[in-house]
Amino acid sequence: MSRVPAWSILPFAALGALREEWRALASRALDPNPFYEPDFLLAAQALGEDGRLSALVAREAEGAGALLALIPLRRPGWRQGWLRSAWMMHENAYTPLTTPLVDRERAPELVSGLLEAAPRLLPGSAWLIPLLPTSRSFWKHLRAALDAKGLAHLAVRQFARAAIETGEDFERYTGRHGQTLLRRERKLASHGRIQYVVAEGDTPAGRAMLDAFLALEAKGWKGRQGTALASRPASLAFARQAFRGASPATMYEALMLNDRPLAVNVNLLSGGVLYTVKAAFDEDYRGYSPGNLLDRHTIALATGPSAVIRVDSCANPDHPLELHWREREAIGTLLVDWTGSFGPAGLERMATRLARVDRGISRLAALRARWRRTVPGSRKA
C-alpha cells in the first residue's frame, strides 16, 4: 500500500543533488516537460535566476522514498503584473511550457495533495500557472481537483501554436506546400550536395551542431540586435548546459550544402514529443528558404518511423510555421485562488491587470517589429 505523499519546499541550490531521481521522475511524468528536466532547469543558474527559484517536491515519505513530483516556483515579475500575493510556476524567456513533473501513476492523488500543500507551505494566496497545454492530462486533472475542492480559478492568456500530431504520411501531409519547397530544394541543389542531418545529445556531432547553430544565430538579425544566445556570456553558458543532451535529450537537425550548415534546428525530445526550441539559418541563402526546408524535414520525423509522436513548435501564435504545420497546441494560463481570499471577482481583477500588461508588451513588440524591418535580413526564411 502506497503512503500519503509528503510535500516540502527545497531551495534551488538543493536540486542538483536530486539529478538522477529527478531524471527518473521525468521519464514517468504524466505529461512531458523537457524545460523542467535537470539540465535545462539547472542551467537557470547561468542566467542568475537561481536566487529567485525554489521547488515544491513530493516524496513517498517525509525526507525519503521515491520522488513523485517536482514543481519549480518563483514570484511573479513585471510580465505577470507584479502579483505580489501570488506564486507562479517558473517561466523565463527560454521556457515555453510550465507543466510540472508529476508521477503519472499517482497523478490524481498528487494534484489533489498539491492544492492542500501549497497554501500550507507557501506564503501567499494565489497561484499563476502560465503556458499550460489545455488539452493535456495535467490541465484536466488540475481543473477537476479545483472543481472538487470548490476553489476559484480562471483561464486567461489562451492561444494556440503550431504543432504536428497526425496519422497521415509525409507526402499527404505536406501536399501542395511541400511541392513548392521541393522546387526551392532543387534550385538549391544546383549549388552542390544537399543533406539533412540529425545529431543527438552530447556527441561530437551534436556539439558541432550546437556550435553551428550558435554561429548562424549570431550572424543573423538576432546577433545584430544583441539577442542571440552567443551575444552574452550568461546566455551562451546557459545554452551549452541546457542543450548538452543528457536530460532532456537534445536532437539537432541541420540542412547542409557541401557539408556547410545552412539551417539548424535545436530540439528537445521528451516522452515522444519533439519541442522545437531554437532555429537559425544562413541569411546569405534566404532566397532558397533553408529554414522552411528544414522545418519540412521535421514533418518527416513526425510522420515517419521515429521516436517522435508529435511536435510542439513552442512558437508564438501566427508564426509562419502555421502555414505548413497544420495542428495546433492549445495553451493557457490558469489563475488559482488557493485560500479562498480572492474569489471569482478577485481573479477577474488579476486577469484585467494581466491584460493591461499584455497590451503594453504588444505595443513594445510592434515597435520592435517596426525596427526589425529596418534591419537587413531580419525575416524568417
Look at residue 159 and tell me whether its pLDDT is greater than 90.
Answer: yes
Task: Name which residue leads in pLDDT, 204 or 367.
Answer: 204
Q: What pLDDT, on a 0 to 100 scale, did the predictor assign at position 379?
A: 40
CATH of the domain at 222: 3.40.630
The whole-angstrom separation of Cα 26 and Cα 247 is 9
Q: What pLDDT, on a 0 to 100 scale, did the predictor assign at position 73?
A: 94
Residues 302, 359: one domain? no
Look at residue 103 and tell me whether its pLDDT is greater than 60.
Answer: yes
The whole-angstrom separation of Cα 79 and Cα 83 is 10
Q: Confirm whether 349 is domain-assigned.
A: yes
Residues 173, 275: one domain? yes
Provide the whole-model pTM: 0.91
Burial status of residue 377 (CB atoms within 10 A of its CB: 0-12, 13-18, 19 or more) = middle
Residues 63, 127: one domain? yes
Residues 247, 197: one domain? yes
Region 47-55: what's the mean pLDDT? 87
Domain final residue, candidates 308, 339, 357: 308
- The letter for the amino acid at 191 is H
Q: Confirm whether 322 is domain-assigned.
A: no
Q: Which H or E run includes 27?
A: helix 19-27
Q: What pLDDT, on a 0 to 100 scale, did the predictor assign at position 245?
A: 77
Domain final residue, candidates 278, 308, 338: 308
Look at residue 302 and tell me whether its pLDDT is greater than 80.
Answer: yes
Neighbours of 233 (CB within 10 A): 9
Dump pLDDT digits (tens) for 308-363. 999 999 999 999 999 899 999 999 999 999 888 888 888 998 888 888 888 887 78
Look at residue 161 and tell me whether its pLDDT is greater than 80.
Answer: yes
pLDDT band at 380 (very low <50, low <70, confident <90, very high): very low
Q: What pLDDT, on a 0 to 100 scale, did the predictor assign at position 381?
A: 41
Q: Confirm whether 194 is domain-assigned.
A: yes
The whole-angstrom separation of Cα 137 and Cα 155 is 16
Residues 142, 23: one domain? yes
Q: Confirm whether 323 is domain-assigned.
A: no
- Could you tell me if 118 and 127 are in contact, meaning their C-beta atoms sit under 8 angstroms apart? yes
pLDDT band at 375 (very low <50, low <70, confident <90, very high): low
Residues 116, 231: one domain? no
231: three-class secondary structure by DSSP: helix
Residues 304, 237: one domain? yes
Residues 144, 221: one domain? no
Q: What is the mean pLDDT of the chain?
A: 91
CATH of the domain at 12: 3.40.630.30
Domain final residue, candidates 308, 339, 360: 308
Residues 267, 286: one domain? yes
CB burial readout 172-195, b (16+ within 10 A) else e: ebbeeebeebeebbeebeeeeebe
Cell of 281: 539559418
Region 276-304: what's the mean pLDDT? 95
Residues 191, 121: one domain? no
Q: What pLDDT, on a 0 to 100 scale, did the predictor assign at position 308?
A: 94
Q: Confirm whether 378 is domain-assigned.
A: no
Q: What is the dihedral of CA 96, 97, 98, 102, to 10 degrees?
A: -150
Q: Confirm whether 375 is domain-assigned.
A: no
- Could you tell me if 18 and 58 are in contact, meaning their C-beta atoms sit under 8 angstroms apart? no
Q: Confirm whether 301 is domain-assigned.
A: yes
- Could you tell me if 44 and 50 are in contact, meaning their C-beta atoms sit under 8 angstroms apart? yes
Residues 206, 113: one domain? no
pLDDT band at 247 (very low <50, low <70, confident <90, very high): confident
Domain boundaries, position 238: 166-308
Residues 173, 289: one domain? yes
Look at residue 197 and tell me whether its pLDDT is greater than 90.
Answer: yes
Q: What pLDDT, on a 0 to 100 scale, did the predictor assign at position 376?
A: 54
Structural domains of the chain, count: 2
Look at residue 175 and tell me whether its pLDDT is greater than 90.
Answer: no
Dump pLDDT digits (tens) for 123-156. 888 889 999 999 999 999 999 999 999 999 999 9
Q: Confirm whether 211 is domain-assigned.
A: yes
Dump pLDDT digits (tens) for 104-115. 999 999 999 999
